Amino acid sequence: MSSKPSASNQAKYIVGSTQLISVKEALQELLAAFHPLESETIPLSEAAGRVLYDGIRSGIDLPLFTNSSMDGFAVRARDVAAAIPDNPVSLTVVDDIPAGKTSTIKLGENQTSRIMTGAPVPEGADAVIPVEDTDQYDPKFRSSFELSSTINVFRTVNPGDYVRQQGEDVRQNDVVLNANYPLKPQELGILAMLGIAEVPVFRKPKISILSTGDELVPVDQPLESGQIHDSNAYTLSALIKRDFGIPEYLGIVPDDEDSVRKFLETAAANNADLILTSAGVSVGVFDYVRTVVESDGELSFWRVNMRPGKPVAFGNFQGVPFIGLPGNPVSAFVGYEVFVRPAILKLSGMSAVPRYKVRARLEKGIKSDGRESYLRAILRYHHGEWTARLTGHQGSGNLLSLVHANALIIIPPGDKSLPAGSEVDAWLLD
């Protein structure tokens, strides 16, 4: 990671502390500080979801050789031009070509070779007759294993029928995959077909995660009065893994300045590409994260005009990019989706942030407070359109309403009231 957020931004957003930066501006500023990581070469078997560093050109034609697309008989189309079911054409069988074998026998007039799907079409042949259209096929027993010395063909074919031509899919030197795209299963398939056993991809970003708060207790320890389990660490780690980053959970940090500093120093020394904290960035008297970051780094912004998740902070600590998410579990989730995911995808080399985004019609009217709002909703598709209704109480600590949601609907900044039937953008979560 190179460039740091500039100090001049600090003044722009922090002075006065009531000034909120828009989501759009915040995202622009944040993304400007992240750059794609270096490349590494990994085995193809581990490459699903990883982002290609270089485009891939084919070294070969696909198919590499002209081959049969059916189990049947290789023929010269002109030899069977008169074949009909009542008056079949008889051909002499000169070879048997299973997949994997190349025949050395060139077909002459009225000759045929039995051929299996994927086997190279022999010299002289220009088409294949499916076995079902010969007397070598009995639907009860499927095709016979015994090979007769002659066969009867019941139909005609055109030259090229049931033949896959060399290079019809890919030509040697064609660009088959572009850089900066994540590899999907079918792309691993084509890379394997091309004989590419190792692929150049962007290194996975490493994200150090800290949960801050005196009230937090690890999930496997009993709660005392006033305590809660640290849930954000689990949600954030899983989101990072989903986005092909490497989460490194450094633990729970108590609400005191020295502990926060010590943990941030550990994170910075840890070669993290991003330090991700939750909680302790708001205006509470024990919210030390901002103070510590500013003491040995810079804060670029720390309040965004959004709901939930206003206290999102961004900057760097000792030169390592830092994103401070709010503590409330739903705010942390939304903050991740809006800011952290795009940053991780940019580090991972992706050229754009894919979102399953649709327009949806509100089933009921919604009141908002003018901030850009990301509300938990259930989207349904019926009568040719998406409709949306909220999952219930939108309190930023209420995780169950996030669990019940399949989308976040987005109320634009400035809108305070949307009547039933209004159209909104929605991000599908599943």
Q: Which is nearer to Mg ion, 280 or 324 (CB)?
A: 280
Q: Which is nearer to ligand AMP, 131 or 252 (CB)?
A: 252
Q: Does residue 122 interact with Mg ion by CB under 5 A? A: no
Q: Does residue 205 interact with Mg ion by CB under 5 A? A: no
Planar angle of CA 326, 271, 214, nearest 5 degrees: 35
Q: Does residue 113 interact with ligand AMP by CB under 6 A? A: no
Binding mask 360-399 for ligand AMP (x = CB under 6 A): -------------------------------------x--
Backbone φ and ψ of 30, nearest 5°: -65, -45
- Which of the listed partners (ligand AMP, Mg ion, none) does 228 bind, with a CB threshold of 5 to 8 Å by partner kind? ligand AMP
The CB density around residue 269, as the number of other CB atoms within 10 Å, is: 11
Q: Which is nearer to ligand AMP, 278 or 300 (CB)?
A: 278
Q: Does residue 210 interact with ligand AMP by CB under 6 A? A: no
Q: Which is nearer to ligand AMP, 67 or 211 (CB)?
A: 211
Q: Does residue 169 interact with ligand AMP by CB under 6 A? A: no
Site residue total, ligand AMP (CB under 6 A)? 19
Q: Which is nearer to ligand AMP, 276 or 424 (CB)?
A: 276
- Which of the listed partners (Mg ion, ligand AMP, none) does 215 bind, with a CB threshold of 5 to 8 Å by partner kind? ligand AMP
Rounded to whole angstroms, how far apart are CA atoms 277 and 254? 12
Q: Strand ranges (DSSP E) for 340-406?
A: 357-362, 366-367, 372-382, 385-390
For the chain, helix (H) and strand (E) counts, in that order, are 9, 29
Q: Does residue 279 interact with Mg ion by CB under 5 A? A: yes
Contact yes or no for 52/39 (Cβ under 8 A):
no
Among 213, 311, 329, 335, binds Mg ion (CB under 5 A): 213
What's the maximum distance between 2 C-alpha atoms anywhere in the chain?
Answer: 96
Contact yes or no for 150/130 (Cβ under 8 A):
no
Rounded to whole angstroms, how far apart are CA atoms 39 and 52? 9
Q: What residues numbered 185-204 form the site for Mg ion, per CB under 5 A? A: none
Contact yes or no for 111/92 (Cβ under 8 A):
yes
Q: What residues numbered 309-338 form the site for ligand AMP, per CB under 6 A? A: 326-329
Rounded to whole angstroms, how far apart are CA atoms 430 and 427? 9
Phi-psi group of 46: left, alpha or beta (phi > 0 → left; psi -120 to 50 → alpha; rest → beta): alpha
CB of 184 to ligand AMP, least distance (A): 33
Q: Which is nearer to Mg ion, 66 or 232 (CB)?
A: 232
CB of 179 to ligand AMP, least distance (A): 37
CB of 230 to ligand AMP, least distance (A): 4
- Which of the listed partners (Mg ion, ligand AMP, none) does 159 bind, with a CB threshold of 5 to 8 Å by partner kind? none
β-strand pairing of 198-202 with 320-325: unpaired
CB of 286 to ligand AMP, least distance (A): 8
- Which of the listed partners (ligand AMP, Mg ion, none) does 282 bind, with a CB threshold of 5 to 8 Å by partner kind? ligand AMP
Q: Which is nearer to ligand AMP, 121 or 252 (CB)?
A: 252
Q: Which is nearer to Mg ion, 88 or 213 (CB)?
A: 213
Report residue 308 CA to chain centroid gap.
Answer: 25
Rounded to whole angstroms, how far apart are CA atoms 224 and 239? 29
The CB density around residue 411, as the number of other CB atoms within 10 Å, is: 24
Among the listed residues 127, 97, 125, 120, the one whose alpha carbon sits nearest the alpha carbon of residue 109: 125
Planar angle of CA 298, 300, 301, nearest 5 degrees: 130
3-state secondary structure of 10: helix
Applying CB under 5 A, the residues found at the interface with Mg ion are: 213, 279-280
Positions touching ligand AMP (CB under 6 A) are 211, 213, 215-216, 228, 230-233, 278-280, 282, 284, 326-329, 397
